[in-house]
Chains A and B, each alone.
Chain A
Amino acid sequence: MTHVAAVVAALAPADQRYLLQARQMQALSFAVHIPLVCFGIAFPALLLYVESLYLRTGDELYRTLARRWSRIMAALFAAGVVTGTILSFELGLLWPNFTGTFGSVFGLGFAIEGFSFFMEAIFIGIYLYGWSRLSPRAHFASGIPIVIAGFTGSLTVISVNAWMNHPTGFRLNHGNVVDVHPLSALFGNWYLWHELVHMYLAGYMVTGFVLAGAYAFGRLRGRWGRYERTALAIPLAVATLASVAQIFVGDWNGREVAAAQPTKLAAFEGLGQTTKGAPVHILGWYSHGHVEYGIPIPHLLSLLAFHSTDATVQGLDAVAPADRPPVNVVRYAFQTMVGIGSLLALLSVVYLVARVRRKRLPESTWFYRAVVAAAPLSVVALIAGWVTTEVGRQPWVVYHVMRTSDAVTGAGVIPVGYVTLAAVYFALACGVAWVLLRLCRAPLDPASESA
Chain B
Amino acid sequence: MHLYDLPLIFALIGLAFYTVLGGADFGAGFWQLIAGKGKQADEIRDHAHHAMAPVWEANHVWLIFVLTVVWTAYPTAFGSIASTLSIPLFVAGIGIVLRGGAYALRAGTTTVTEQRRVDAVFAVSSILTPFALGTVIGALASERVHVGNPGGSLVTSWLNPTSIAIGVLAVASGAYTSAVFLSGDAARRGEPAVADRFRARALAAGLAAGAVAIAALIVLHFDAERIFRRLTEGVGLPALIVSVTAGVATLGLVWGRRYEPARYVAAIAVAATIAGWAVAQRPVFLHGLTIRQAAAGDDTLVAVVVSVLAGALLLFPALALLFRLTLGGELRDSEQSSGEAPVGSPRRPLVSVRLDARLSVAFLVAGIGFLTFANAGWAHAIGIACFFGFILSGYRAALPTDVADAGR
Binding site for B on A (CB under 8 A): 10-14, 53-59, 61, 71, 74-79, 81-86, 88-89, 91-93, 96-97, 99-105, 107-108, 110-115, 117-119, 121-126, 128-136, 139, 145, 178, 180-183, 190, 193-194, 197, 226-227, 229-230, 233-234, 237-238, 240-242, 244-245, 248-249, 251-252, 307, 351-352, 355-356, 359-361, 409-413, 417, 420-421, 424-425, 427-428, 431-432, 434-439, 447-451
Considering the complex, give the chain B residue whose CB is closest to the CB of A56: B345
**Is B190 an interface residue, CB under 8 A from the partner?**
no
Choose from A56, A71, A96, A102 the contact partner of B82 (Cβ within 8 Å): A96
Of B55, B107, B149, which is within 8 A of A97 by CB? B149
Question: Is the Cβ of B333 less than 8 Å from the Cβ of A450?
Answer: yes
Taking a contact as CB atoms closer than 8 A, the residue among A81, A108, A238, A438 that contacts B110 in the complex is: A438
A122-B322, A129-B333, A182-B299 given as contacts; is B79 within 8 A of A11 (CB)? yes
Measured between C-beta atoms, what is the minimum distance from A45 to chain B in Å? 11
CA distance A114 to B7 in the complex (A): 14
CB-based contact A249/B299 at 8 Å: no
In the bound complex, residues from chain B placing their C-beta under 8 Å from that of A129 are 53-54, 326, 331-333
27 contacts across the A-B interface (CB closer than 8 A): A82-B101, A85-B63, A89-B90, A99-B75, A100-B80, A103-B72, A103-B75, A104-B72, A104-B300, A110-B68, A125-B55, A125-B58, A126-B321, A183-B303, A227-B404, A229-B408, A230-B407, A234-B403, A241-B394, A248-B371, A252-B380, A356-B357, A361-B403, A412-B154, A413-B87, A417-B86, A425-B97
Q: Which of B147, B303, B375 contacts A108 (CB 8 A)?
A: B303
Q: Does B398 lie within 8 Å of A57, measured CB to CB?
A: no
Q: Specify which chain B residues have a CB less than 8 angstroms from the CB of A229 in the assembled complex.
A: 403-404, 407-408
Contact A251 B57 (CB under 8 A): no
At the interface, yes or no: B112 with Cβ under 8 Å from chain A? no
**Binary per-residue interface labels of chain B (363-379) against chain A in the complex, 1 for a CB within 8 Å, 0 otherwise:** 01001100111010100
- Kindly state the separation between the CA atoms of A421 and B90 in the bound complex, as whole angstroms: 9
B342 A136 Cβ-Cβ under 8 A: yes
Which residue of A is nearest B375, CB measured?
A307
Top-7 shortest CB links A-B: A100-B79, A107-B72, A92-B82, A58-B344, A103-B75, A82-B100, A104-B296
Q: Provide the bound-state CA to CA distance between A103 and B7, in Å.
A: 14
Chain A residue nearest to B322 (CB atoms) is A122
| Alpha-carbon distance between A10 and B150 when the two chains are bound, in angstroms | 11
Q: How far is the CB of A420 from chain B (nearest CB, A)?
A: 7
Closest to B10 in A: A111
- Additional A-B contacts beyond A121-B57, A421-B94 (12; CB < 8 A): A11-B76, A89-B93, A92-B71, A110-B64, A125-B57, A129-B331, A132-B334, A133-B334, A410-B83, A427-B101, A431-B105, A439-B108
Residues in A neighbouring B75, C-beta threshold 8 A: 99-104, 107
Q: Does B336 contact A (CB under 8 A)?
A: yes
B158-166, B238-246, B253-261, B311-319 - the one binding chain A: B311-319
The reply to whether B304 and A103 contact each other, CB–CB distance below 8 Å, is: no
Question: Quick check: B57 and A103 within 8 Å, CB to CB?
Answer: no
B interface list, Cβ under 8 A from A: 53-55, 57-58, 60-61, 63-65, 67-69, 71-76, 78-84, 86-87, 89-90, 92-94, 96-101, 103-105, 107-108, 110, 147-151, 154, 296-297, 299-300, 303-304, 307-308, 311, 314-315, 318-319, 321-322, 325-326, 329-338, 340-345, 347, 353, 357, 360, 364, 367-368, 371-373, 375, 377, 380-381, 383-384, 387, 390-391, 394-395, 397-399, 401, 403-408
**Beta-carbon contact of B315 and A85 below 8 Å:** no
Min CB–CB distance B5 → chain A (angstroms):
16
Asked whether, in the complex, the Cβ of A75 is within 8 Å of the Cβ of B307, the reply is no
Taking a contact as CB atoms under 8 Å apart, the answer to whether B307 and A122 are in contact is no
Question: Least Cβ distance of B90 to chain A in Å?
Answer: 5
CB-defined contacts of A101 to chain B, threshold 8 Å = 75, 79
Task: Contact check, B390 vs A122: say whether CB atoms are below 8 A apart.
Answer: no
- Asked if A133 contacts B338 (CB within 8 A), the reply is yes
Q: How far is the CA of A420 from the CA of B97 in the complex (A)?
A: 12
Q: Which residues of B contact A439 (CB under 8 A)?
A: 107-108
Interface centre among A79, A96, A102, A139, by most chain B C-beta atoms within 10 angstroms, is: A96
Number of interchain pairs (Cβ within 8 Å): 388
Q: Do A103 and B78 touch (CB < 8 A)?
A: yes
Contact B407 A97 (CB under 8 A): no
Q: Given A58-B342, A78-B57, A241-B398, A233 and B387 touching (CB < 8 A)?
A: no
Taking the closest CB of chain B, its distance from the CB of A26, in whole angstroms, is 13
Q: Contact: B372 with A59, CB < 8 Å?
A: no
Given A128-B54, A251-B372, residue A230 in contact with residue B403 (CB < 8 A): yes
Residues of B contacting A11 in the complex (Cβ-Cβ under 8 angstroms): 76, 79-80, 83, 147-149, 151
Q: Is the CB of B89 within 8 A of A115?
A: no
Among A124, A226, A437, the residue within 8 A (CB) of B404 is A226
In the complex, A13 Cα to B80 Cα: how many Å? 11
A227 to B63, CA, bound (A): 41
- Residues on B with C-beta less than 8 A from A227 are 404
> How far apart are the CA atoms of A156 and B104 in the complex, in Å?
26
Query: In the complex, A78→B103 CA distance in Å?
Result: 7
**Assembled-state Cα–Cα distance A362/B151 (Å):** 63
Closest to B387 in A: A245
Residue contact A409 to B71, C-beta cutoff 8 Å: no
Q: Which of A55, A96, A124, A436 contacts B83 (CB 8 A)?
A: A96
- The CA-CA distance from A56 to B343 in the complex, in Å, is 8
Min CB distance B242 to A, Å, is 28
Establish whether residues B318 and A89, one from each chain, have CB atoms under 8 Å apart when the complex forms.
no
Give the CA-CA distance A83 to B57 in the complex, in Å.
13
Q: Is B104 touching A435 in the complex (CB atoms < 8 A)?
A: yes
Question: Is B80 a contact partner of A93 (Cβ separation < 8 A)?
Answer: no
Question: How far does the Cβ of B94 sit from chain A's closest Cβ, in whole Å?
Answer: 6
Residue with the greatest number of chain A CB neighbours at <10 A, chosen from B101, B330, B364: B101
Complex contact A91–B407 (CB within 8 A): no
CB-based contact B325/A352 at 8 Å: no
Q: Are B391 and A242 in contact (CB under 8 A)?
A: yes
Q: How far is the CA of A112 from the CA of B305 in the complex (A)?
A: 11
Given A89-B90, A252-B371, is A240 in contact with B398 using a C-beta cutoff of 8 Å?
A: yes
Query: Which A residue sits closest to B56, measured CB to CB?
Result: A125
State whether A133 touches B330 (Cβ < 8 A). Answer: yes
Decide: A100 near B78, CB < 8 A? Known: A10-B147, A54-B342: yes
* Contact B64–A114 (Cβ < 8 Å): yes
User: Do A197 and B107 touch (CB < 8 A)?
Assistant: no
Q: Which of B99, B315, B331, B383 contacts A126 (CB 8 A)?
A: B331
Residue numbers in B under 8 Å from A132 (CB-CB) = 332, 334-338
Contacts of A421 in B (CB 8 A): 94
Which residues of the partner chain B approach A139 to less than 8 Å between Cβ atoms?
Answer: 338
Distance, CA A193 to CA B377, complexed state (A): 10
Cα-based distance from A107 to B408 in the complex (angstroms): 52
Contact among B57, B334, B342, B364 with A77 in the assembled complex (CB-CB below 8 Å): B57
